[in-house]
């Protein structure tokens, strides 16, 4: 079973790994927006404060005696009693009939001018050189830097908090994932619902457990059907064996070949019934009660048996070493016999090649040009079930011209997994 490798390209990633980029980008965008708003607030606050101060000054001097000369209130604020006394720069920007508060000039020469009538109804002007009062770029940069210094720990804290939240949310899902990864591939035991699981995860675990239970029920019904069918087949096979023996006593010589063919069919039936009974038992102890050695002579004899004594295919055996299988002879006969039958009856003309080693067997034959039915036939299904029960591996490789069946046997020191399902 493949395990999950997090944070690798093409592999599933954790929830925090998926979201931290977006969270960080959102925080940076929020920082930039807030920094802009802070600097804009400083600017607007300075302008509002200047407007209130100039208004108070104009209210006070409008009730006083008219001035004859410009009066400096402070280093940046001057009262001009008439329009002709205004500096030329301001006269170019402000028409004589203008009344009210005006902001004039560029950023480098920024003026606030309050034009108000005095008690006699003549206009006077309160002028402030606002470029000296409003926040400079240096002040704005300092505010920006201090804001950055303050927001950086906040971003780190928010990322840490986001990680904690994602870990808390995904902890039950990770626990379910660990249960799936740590269990045997053949296990059908239900998954435990971790504490603190959400409603969505609870529904998912319940559906998984329901599917596992249905699978276990199907496998149990299949095992019981195989067991009952095998027991039921024993009786007619025994009746046929007894009848055949009585027929053989009074048979004529020309019937010997037909009787031998019937004996061969009964032996195959007995072997298949015994195999089904062993596959339907709980556990693999029965399948390991004996050892069967597969070699060149054994394969040649089995080919004669499968072909009815007249094989029409050449069997080429490359035996590097005999293959010892820990299983009864009948089970091994069904296993290898099904592979030979597939090669003989479903393959194209040509020799059957068998490669034998101490660790497995490989059987290769030609295939017909017409397309075959996808999937495995019944014979290959039986072979696969036998291999699963005994702890061996079976693989059928189909190409355009050949079919190769491979059986591999683990080393004697390797642990054979117990078969939990038939």
Domain residue ranges of the chain, discontinuous segments joined by +:
63-133, 199-279, 286-408
- The mean pLDDT value of the chain amounts to 78
> Strands 360-366, 315-319: parallel, antiparallel or unpaired by DSSP?
unpaired
Nearest to 136 by CA among 113, 111, 108, 112: 108
Query: In the predicted model, is pLDDT for residue 312 greater than 60?
Result: yes
Lowest mean pLDDT among 38-42, 122-126, 327-331, 358-362: 38-42
Give the mean pLDDT of 71-83: 88
pLDDT grade for 216, boundaries at 50, 70 and 90: confident
SS3 of 82-122: CHHHCCHHHHHHCCCCCCEEEEECCCCCCEEEEEEECCCCC
Q: Are strands 315-319 and 352-357 parallel, antiparallel or unpaired?
A: parallel
Q: Which of the two residues, 174 and 20, has the higher pLDDT score?
A: 174
Answer yes or no: is pLDDT of 376 > 70. no
Taking a C-beta distance cutoff of 8 angstroms, is the pair 198, 172 a contact? Answer: yes
User: Does this model's pTM top 0.75?
Assistant: no
The pLDDT-based confidence of 288 (bands split at 50, 70, 90) is: low
Q: How far is CA 273 from CA 224, 228, 385, in A?
A: 14, 11, 14
Which residues are registered as beta bridge partners of 402? 366
Q: Residue 265, SS3?
A: helix
Q: Taking CA 116 as the corner, what is the angle to CA 88 and CA 90, rounded to the nearest 5 degrees?
A: 15
What's the pLDDT score for residue 135? Answer: 57
Q: Which CATH number fits domain 286-408: 3.30.565.10, 3.40.50.1820, 2.40.430.10, 3.40.5.50?
A: 3.30.565.10
CA distance 235 to 241: 10
User: What's the CA dihedral at 281, 284, 287, 289 to 10 degrees?
Assistant: -120
pLDDT at site 23: 74
Partners of 182 in the beta sheet? none
What's the pLDDT band for 48 if we cut at 50, 70, 90? confident
8 A C-beta contact, residue 382 and residue 338:
yes
CATH number for the domain running over 199-279: 1.10.287
The arithmetic mean of pLDDT across residues 226-241, rounded, is 69
Is the separation of the CB atoms in 215 and 188 below 8 Å?
Answer: yes
Confidence of residue 217 (pLDDT cuts 50, 70, 90): confident
Confidence of residue 371 (pLDDT cuts 50, 70, 90): low
- Residue 168: C-alpha distances to residues 15, 16, 127, 164 (Å): 11, 11, 62, 6
Predicted pLDDT at 177: 85
Length of the chain counted residue by residue: 422
Report residue 338 as tokens: 């099904």
* CA R_g for the chain: 48
Top pLDDT among 129 and 238 is at: 129
């Amino acid at each position: 079973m493949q395990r999950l490798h997090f944070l690798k390209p093409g592999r599933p990633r954790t929830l925090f790994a998926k979201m931290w980029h977006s969270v960080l980008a959102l925080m940076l965008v929020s920082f930039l927006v807030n920094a802009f708003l802070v600097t804009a607030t400083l600017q607007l606050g300075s302008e509002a404060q200047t407007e209130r101060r100039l208004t108070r000054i104009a209210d006070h001097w409008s009730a006083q005696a008219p001035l004859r000369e410009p009066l400096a209130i402070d280093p940046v604020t001057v009262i001009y009693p008439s329009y002709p006394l205004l500096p030329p720069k301001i006269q170019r920007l402000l028409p004589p009939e203008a009344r009210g508060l005006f902001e004039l000039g560029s950023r480098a020469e920024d003026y606030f001018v309050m034009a108000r009538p005095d008690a006699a109804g003549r206009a006077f002007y309160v002028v402030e050189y606002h470029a000296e009062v409003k926040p400079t770029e240096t002040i704005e940069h300092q505010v920006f830097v201090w804001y950055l210094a303050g927001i950086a720990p906040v971003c780190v804290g928010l990322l840490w908090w986001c990680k904690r939240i994602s870990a808390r949310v995904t902890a039950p899902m990770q626990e379910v994932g660990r249960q799936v990864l740590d269990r045997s591939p053949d296990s059908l035991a239900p998954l435990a619902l971790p504490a603190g699981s959400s409603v969505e995860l609870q529904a998912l675990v319940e559906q998984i457990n329901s599917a596992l239970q249905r699978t276990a029920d199907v496998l149990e019904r299949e095992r019981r059907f195989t067991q009952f069918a095998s027991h039921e087949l024993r009786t007619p096979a025994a009746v046929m064996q007894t009848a055949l023996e009585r027929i053989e006593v009074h048979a004529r010589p020309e019937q010997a070949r037909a009787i031998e063919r019937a004996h061969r069919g009964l032996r195959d039936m007995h072997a298949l019934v015994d195999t089904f009974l062993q596959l339907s038992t709980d556990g693999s102890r029965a399948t390991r009660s004996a050892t069967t050695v597969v070699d060149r002579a054994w394969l040649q004899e089995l080919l004669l048996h499968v072909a009815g004594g007249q094989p029409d295919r050449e069997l080429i055996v490359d035996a590097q070493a005999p293959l010892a299988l820990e299983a009864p002879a009948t089970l091994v006969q069904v296993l290898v016999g099904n592979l030979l039958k597939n090669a003989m009856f479903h393959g194209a003309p040509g020799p059957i090649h068998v490669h034998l080693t101490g660790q497995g067997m490989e059987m290769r034959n030609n295939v017909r040009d017409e397309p075959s039915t996808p999937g495995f036939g019944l014979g290959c299904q039986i072979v696969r079930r036998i291999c699963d029960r005994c702890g061996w591996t079976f693989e059928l490789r189909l190409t355009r011209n050949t079919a190769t069946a491979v059986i591999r046997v683990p080393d004697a020191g390797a642990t054979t997994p117990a078969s939990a399902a038939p």
